[in-house]
Amino acid sequence: MSDAVDDVEMPYDENASQQEKVEALRERLEVLEGQNEEMRDKLLDASAENNKYQQKLERLTHENKKLKQSPLFVATVQELTNEGIVIKQHGNNQEALTEVTDETRGRVEPDDRVAVNNSLSIVKVLDDETDVRARVMQVEHKPDVGYADIGGIDEQMEEVRETVELPLKSPEMFDEVGIDPPSGVLLYGPPGTGKTMLAKAVANQTDATFIKMAGSELVHKFIGEGAKLVRDLFELARQSQPAVIFIDEIDAIAAKRTESKTSGDAEVQRTMMQLLSEMDGFDERGNISIIAATNRFDMLDRAILRPGRFDRLIEVPKPDAEGREMIFQIHTRSMNVADGVDYEALAEVADDASGADIKAICTEAGMFAIRDDRTEVRMEDFEQAWEKIQQESDADEEAVSKTFA
Ligand SMILES: Nc1ncnc2c1ncn2[C@@H]1O[C@H](COP(=O)(O)OP(=O)(O)OP(=O)(O)O)[C@@H](O)[C@H]1O
């Protein structure tokens, strides 16, 4: 340590006076303190960035692992016998005797739900059924999203209101006129354009319960569960009517049939058939509207699009310049924005942004102001935020393609 200090070049001449030396050292100290501060900031930023990438990596690794796993089947324990455990598989209702370790035997009782692998060995004991439902379905009684929170998709909003609101608000009118009320709408378009918001706003406007189910969650859980969960979903909606059922990523359960005949495909088919029959059983469906959404319209099986299932197919595109300007205004409503901020110009700069991107730009612009120790958000904060978000989405795409390569 002392060697290092000896090696340091002093910021003064050997012949300088004592006072000159002290002065020079003070100046050097100031510079070093400044540099130290800068380094500390950079370190902080870098560790925050590192943390973020770490989390992203963990998430992607986890997803990758999940995709590589072979599917598990669900069964219910019937009986514990000396030869093993009798289980009944969901889906095909076949009974089977499976041998188990003493440890597993100690953990299960008749009526427990278990996940079994291809050779019917018990892999895990499943949670309570209600937990599974809670994970797959999200229920909100009067979600707090209003039409005024949605920008740039007025035409689509009008169409959704026309088709979904009236049957929920005045179902008796359809009875009196003697026609079937519209059953639902399918919203399609790129991610983050406001499809979920639209469904929530309708539920809010009609005082309906909003029940969301993610298609991908349905089929990536356990074999034999999807169809049952669809049944449960409609049952829950019937109990809470009026209700809006929102099926996000419907392409996960209603994709075109492929040639491959894996057990996973059969499971998806069963889930889709259950959905179709629930949608067709309109008489018993009650005061319930269905709104489904997809980013992959091209992937949908034509069966789901047959007349009587979705009355309207509504495209929800990315917003145009005017729409982007409105969305900027919506998301900055409660922000402390400087006078010079020009939303029209911002809408031009962020020319490819979706509604969700604009929301992210506004939050990030606020972060730029905070990092700069300001409470007012300026035009340049918004511009830098858009650049940062574009860079991040490029990096995201790269990380995904590397992880799955
Ligand atoms: N048209 C819009 N007006 C205002 N905000 C929007 C709009 N579109 C998206 N947003 C913002 O983006 C967020 C995500 O939007 P939303 O979940 O509705 O998109 P989505 O179309 O359902 O996306 P995905 O297909 O990925 O599920 C919203 O919570 C909102 O903050």
Predicted pLDDT of residue 66: 64
Please tell me the residue having the least CA distance from ligand 1 atom 26.
191
Please tell me the residue having the least CA distance from ligand 1 atom 10.
355
Stretch 371-399: mean pLDDT, rounded? Answer: 86
Contact 382, 346 (CB under 8 A): yes
Q: Which of 299, 315, 331 is the last residue of a domain?
A: 315
pLDDT of 141 above 50: yes
Residues 198 and 231 in one domain: yes
Q: Which of 325, 359, 393 to mutate to test the pocket of ligand 1 (most atoms within 8 A of CB)?
A: 359
Contact 365, 343 (CB under 8 A): no
Query: Quick one: tokens of 2?
Result: 């002392």
Residues 198 and 311 in one domain: yes
Q: Separation of 195 CA from ligand 1 center, angstroms?
A: 6
Strands 73-80 and 288-294: unpaired
Residues 297 and 351 in one domain: no
The reply to whether 331 sits in an annotated binding site is yes
Q: Name the pLDDT band for 1 (thresholds 50, 70, 90).
A: very low
The reply to whether 332 sits in an annotated binding site is no
- Ligand 1, closest atom to CA 323? 1
Q: Separation of 249 CA from ligand 1 center, angstroms?
A: 14
Please tell me the residue having the least CA distance from ligand 1 atom 19.
192
Residues 187 and 251 in one domain: yes
Residue 13 lies in a domain: no
The larger pLDDT score, comparing residue 268 to residue 84, is at: 84
Q: Which of 147, 155, 157, 193 to mutate to test the pocket of ligand 1 (most atoms within 8 A of CB)?
A: 193
Residues 81 and 158 in one domain: no
The larger pLDDT score, comparing residue 252 to residue 267, is at: 252
Average pLDDT, the chain: 84
Residues with a CB atom less than 6 Å from ligand 1: 150-153, 191-197, 248, 293, 295, 327, 330, 355-356, 359
Residues 262 and 344 in one domain: no
Predicted pLDDT of residue 262: 52
Residues 183 and 285 in one domain: yes
The reply to whether 157 sits in an annotated binding site is no
Residues 221 and 291 in one domain: yes
Strands 85-89 and 243-248: unpaired
Q: Which of 261, 286, 315 is the last residue of a domain?
A: 315
Residues 114 and 263 in one domain: no
Please tell me the residue having the least CA distance from ligand 1 atom 6.
355
The larger pLDDT score, comparing residue 201 to residue 392, is at: 201
Predicted pLDDT of residue 2: 45
Element (DSSP H or E) covering residue 53: helix 18-68
Please state the domain count of the chain: 3
Q: Across 155-164, 193-202, 243-252, 393-402, which has the greatest mean pLDDT? A: 193-202
Output the domain CATH number for residue 384. Answer: 1.10.8.60
Residues 364 and 307 in one domain: no
Query: Quick one: tokens of 372?
Result: 């700069």
- Ligand 1, closest atom to CA 149? 4
Predicted pLDDT of residue 131: 61
Output the domain CATH number for residue 187. Answer: 3.40.50.300
Q: Which of 315, 330, 347 is the last residue of a domain?
A: 315
Point out the least confidently predicted range of 40-49, 122-131, 381-390: 122-131
In the chain, what is the straight-line distance between the N-terminal and C-terminal CA atoms, in Å? 48
Q: Name the pLDDT band for 379 (thresholds 50, 70, 90).
A: very high
Q: Across 69-73, 196-200, 266-270, which has the greatest mean pLDDT? A: 196-200
Predicted pLDDT of residue 3: 47
Residue 284 lies in a domain: yes
The reply to whether 194 sits in an annotated binding site is yes
Predicted pLDDT of residue 282: 55
Q: Name the pLDDT band for 257 (thresholds 50, 70, 90).
A: low
Residues 102 and 196 in one domain: no
Output the domain CATH number for residue 78. Answer: 2.40.50.140
Residues 135 and 192 in one domain: yes
The reply to whether 375 sits in an annotated binding site is no
Contact 62, 54 (CB under 8 A): no
Predicted pLDDT of residue 370: 92
Point out the least confidently predicted range of 15-19, 121-125, 259-263, 307-311: 259-263
Predicted pLDDT of residue 347: 94
Predicted pLDDT of residue 148: 93
The reply to whether 279 sits in an annotated binding site is no
The larger pLDDT score, comparing residue 74 to residue 357, is at: 357
The reply to whether 91 sits in an annotated binding site is no
Q: For residue 114, which of 128, 133, 135, 131 has the smallest C-alpha distance?
A: 128
Q: How far apart are CA 116 and CA 269, in angstroms?
A: 20
Please tell me the residue having the least CA distance from ligand 1 atom 13.
356
Strands 85-89 and 73-80: antiparallel
Range of the domain at 141: 131-315
Q: Name the pLDDT band for 401 (thresholds 50, 70, 90).
A: low
Stretch 329-347: mean pLDDT, rounded? Answer: 93
Please tell me the residue having the least CA distance from ligand 1 atom 5.
355
Please tell me the residue having the least CA distance from ligand 1 atom 17.
196
